[in-house]
A = this chain, B = another copy of it.
């Protein structure tokens, strides 16, 4: 999985948000993000777009883990608890894998292990493979 981790080092927006890809294996990924001021919105909690981006990175890593280029076509997110401090961690698991389409469930949790958001996404799998 070194290739996939290397590949995600080119993800400039993830870096800009301070997201770290911790683990990638077949159909699985884990990422985290430290809550800093730049991630907050007008009411001082973590911006929904930042939480989405963290989940999205775990989703992208898990869906590209098989070595086939996979692009997000759809995602839905439900926000269930405001995020204030510490780290947010996203864990992605594969729900289905077909030749052209695959789906993933991602949970975003805070340092207490409470769910902050749930995210479901679908990818379209291209013919290209991820270059080593």
Contacts and interface: CB of A to CB of B under 8 A. Distances in A.
Copies of this chain, tallied across the complex: 4
Contacts of A98: 80
A128 to B, nearest CB: 10
Categorize the interface residue count of chain A: 35 or more
A13 B56 contact: no
A1 interface: no
Given A42-B7, A80-B98, A73 B122 contact: yes
Interface string A45-82: 01111101110110010000000010111111111110
Contacts of A60: 41-42, 48
A79 B69 contact: no
Nearest to A52: B52
9 contacts: A11-B47, A12-B39, A13-B47, A49-B49, A49-B56, A52-B53, A74-B78, A75-B76, A105-B105
